[in-house]
């Protein structure tokens, strides 16, 4: 075999090897593409589906109340203000603890010393004429029958601002389990009836969602007692009734149609 023939054979086998590698790579890419498209297609919602919605309701009475109250003192000496304010607030805290409120349910939410500025028109200068110290406490009341009694006793201890009673449900989910199940059961029965009317059958669930109306918190407004001071007899406190809230669970379910 001459040199030219040997070179041609080498070139031929080299080209053949390259073509085989390219062909194999192309086959691998095609299979990978088909697999990816198949998996992607599985993730898509089937074209033949039916969407149904249902709801269920339950009335829940609040089991927790939050009361926010403040001691506000004014004067020229910040140190004197702090002593006076702290003495009154400590007395109020001891009072609510004596009514069965645990330490974990008493929280300081605000402690603010604010200067009062005045303008001297003659000298055209601004000066501090005094200070206002505000200390605010939020308490959680778990025995709702004690709300009115506690609120009525605070002004006599130096508390001079009470804002509102905020009712809430500490663990709403424990009340909603049965309501949620009822809503999904209604959706399933509704879907079965619709499928029967249209002479089709239901397949697997391919999507679902849930929502509820706003129910967790609501306020019972009280008139602020900012004008009251220690020793002043407070106005009678109205009977505070927490009542109950109607909660609605809304569900939507998407079924595949066979």
On whether the pTM is more than 0.75, the answer is no
End-to-end CA distance of the chain: 71
Dist. CA 34–CA 28, nearest whole Å: 10
For residues 60 and 217, give the distance between their C-alpha atoms in angstroms, rounded to a whole number.
12
Strand, helix or coil for residue 39: helix
d(CA 241, CA 144): 9
Tokens of 85: 């304010």
Identify the sign of the CA torsion 112, 116, 117, 123: negative
Count CA within 13 A, CB hemisphere, residue 173.
Answer: 1
Which residue is associated with the tokens 């001459």? 2
Cβ pair 144, 61 in contact under 8 A = no
Which pLDDT score, from 0 to 100, does residue 238 have?
55
Residue 71's pLDDT is what?
A: 95
List per-residue pLDDT tens for the chain, 258 residues long.
Answer: 555 555 555 555 556 565 666 676 665 767 666 665 566 555 555 568 999 999 999 888 888 999 999 999 999 999 999 999 999 999 999 999 999 999 999 999 999 999 998 888 888 888 888 999 999 999 999 998 898 889 989 999 999 998 878 888 888 777 888 899 999 999 999 999 999 999 999 999 999 999 987 654 545 445 444 444 444 444 555 567 677 778 889 999 999 998
- Cα–Cα distances in Å, from 239 out to 156, 220, 236? 19, 11, 9
CA gyration radius, the chain: 37
At 41 the pLDDT is 55
| pLDDT score recorded for residue 171 | 81
CB 139 within 8 A of CB 96: yes
Cβ contacts of 92 within 8 Å, gap of 6 or more: 69, 71, 137, 154, 157, 158, 159
């Amino acid at each position: 075999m001459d040199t030219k023939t040997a070179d041609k054979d080498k070139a031929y086998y080299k080209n053949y090897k390259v073509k085989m590698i390219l062909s194999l790579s192309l086959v691998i890419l095609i299979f990978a593409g088909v697999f990816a498209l198949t998996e992607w297609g599985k993730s898509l919602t089937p074209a033949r589906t039916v969407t149904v919605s249902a709801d269920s309701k339950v009335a829940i009475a609040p089991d927790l109340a939050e009361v926010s109250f403040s001691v506000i003192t004014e004067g020229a000496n910040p140190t004197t203000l702090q002593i006076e304010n702290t003495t009154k607030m400590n007395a109020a805290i001891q009072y609510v603890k004596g009514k069965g409120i645990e330490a974990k349910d008493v929280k300081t939410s605000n402690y603010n010393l604010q200067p009062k500025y005045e303008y001297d028109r003659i000298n055209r200068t601004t000066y501090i004429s005094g200070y206002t110290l505000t200390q605010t406490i939020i308490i959680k009341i778990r025995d709702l029958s004690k709300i009115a009694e506690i609120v009525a006793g605070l002004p006599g201890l130096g508390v001079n601002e009470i804002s509102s009673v905020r009712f809430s449900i500490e663990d709403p989910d424990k009340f909603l389990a049965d309501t949620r199940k009822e809503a999904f059961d209604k959706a399933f029965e509704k879907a079965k009836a619709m499928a029967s009317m249209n002479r089709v059958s239901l397949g697997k669930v391919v999507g679902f969602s849930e929502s509820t109306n706003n129910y967790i918190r609501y306020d019972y407004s009280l008139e602020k007692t900012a004008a009251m001071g220690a020793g002043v007899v407070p106005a009678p406190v109205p009977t505070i009734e927490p009542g109950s809230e109607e909660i609605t669970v809304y569900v939507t379910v998407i079924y595949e149609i066979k």
